Structure 1
Amino acid sequence: MRRFLRENALSLAFGLGFLLVLCGQAVAGHADYTQQQLTSGGEDPGFWTYVTSSSFGVDVAENWQSEYLQFFLYTIATVWLLQRGSPESKPLGEAGRESDQEQAVGRYARDDSPPAAAAGGLRTRVYSRSLGLVVGLVFLASWTAQTVAGWAAFNAEQLADRQDSVSWAGYLAEPDFWNRTLQNWQSELLAVGSFAVLAVFLRERGSPESKPVGAPHDATADTG
Structure 2
Amino acid sequence: MSTREKEYGFLRSNALSLVFGGLFLATLGGQALSGQADVNAQQTANGLEPVSLLDYVTSSSFGVDVMENWQSEYLQFFLFIFATVWVVQRGSSESKKPGEEGTETDEEQRVGRYATKDSPAWARAGGWRTALFSRSLGLLMGALFLLTWAASSVAGWAAFNTEQLAERQDPVSWVGYLGEADFWNRSFQNWQSEMLAVGSMAIFAVFLRQRGSPESKPVGVAHDVTGQTG
- 2:51 counterpart SS class: coil
Question: Which of 18, 23, 27 matches 1:21?
Answer: 27
1:110 counterpart = 2:83: no
Question: Which of 214, 220, 224 matches 1:214?
Answer: 220
Unaligned runs of 5+ in 2: 1-6
1:141 counterpart = 2:147: yes
Output the TM-score relative to the length of structure 2: 0.95
Question: Which of 157, 162, 171 matches 2:168?
Answer: 162
Query: 1:4 deviation in Å?
Result: 1.2
Query: 1:35 deviation in Å?
Result: 1.8
- 2:9 counterpart SS class: helix
Question: Which of 91, 111, 117 matches 1:85?
Answer: 91
1:54 counterpart = 2:60: yes
Residues 198-213 of structure 1 mapped to structure 2, 5 A cutoff: 198-213=204-219
- 2:229 counterpart SS class: coil
- 1:149 counterpart SS class: helix
| Letter aligned with residue 163 of structure 1 | Q
Residues 65-84 of structure 1 mapped to structure 2, 5 A cutoff: 65-84=71-90
Distance 1:41 1:165, change over 3 A: farther
| Letter aligned with residue 90 of structure 2 | R
Query: 1:42 deviation in Å?
Result: 2.9
Give deviations 1:186-217, integer Å, cap 9, x for gaps. 00000000110000000000000000000000
1:185 counterpart = 2:211: no
Partner of 2:70: 64
Aligned residues: 224
| Letter aligned with residue 128 of structure 1 | S
- 1:16 counterpart SS class: helix
Query: 1:39 deviation in Å?
Result: 2.7
Unaligned runs of 5+ in 1: none
Residues 122-141 of structure 1 mapped to structure 2, 5 A cutoff: 122-141=128-147
| Letter aligned with residue 74 of structure 1 | F
CA distance in 2, matches of 1:173, 1:37: 30
CA distance in 2, matches of 1:2, 1:122: 36
CA distance in 2, matches of 1:217, 1:72: 27
Identical columns (%): 66
Give deviations 1:154-173, integer Å, cap 9, x for gaps. 10111011111011011111
CA distance in 2, matches of 1:87, 1:121: 32
CA distance in 1, matches of 2:29, 2:150: 23
Distance 1:174 1:50, change over 3 A: same
CA distance in 2, matches of 1:84, 1:197: 9
- 1:65 counterpart SS class: helix
Q: Alignment RMSD, CA only? A: 1.1
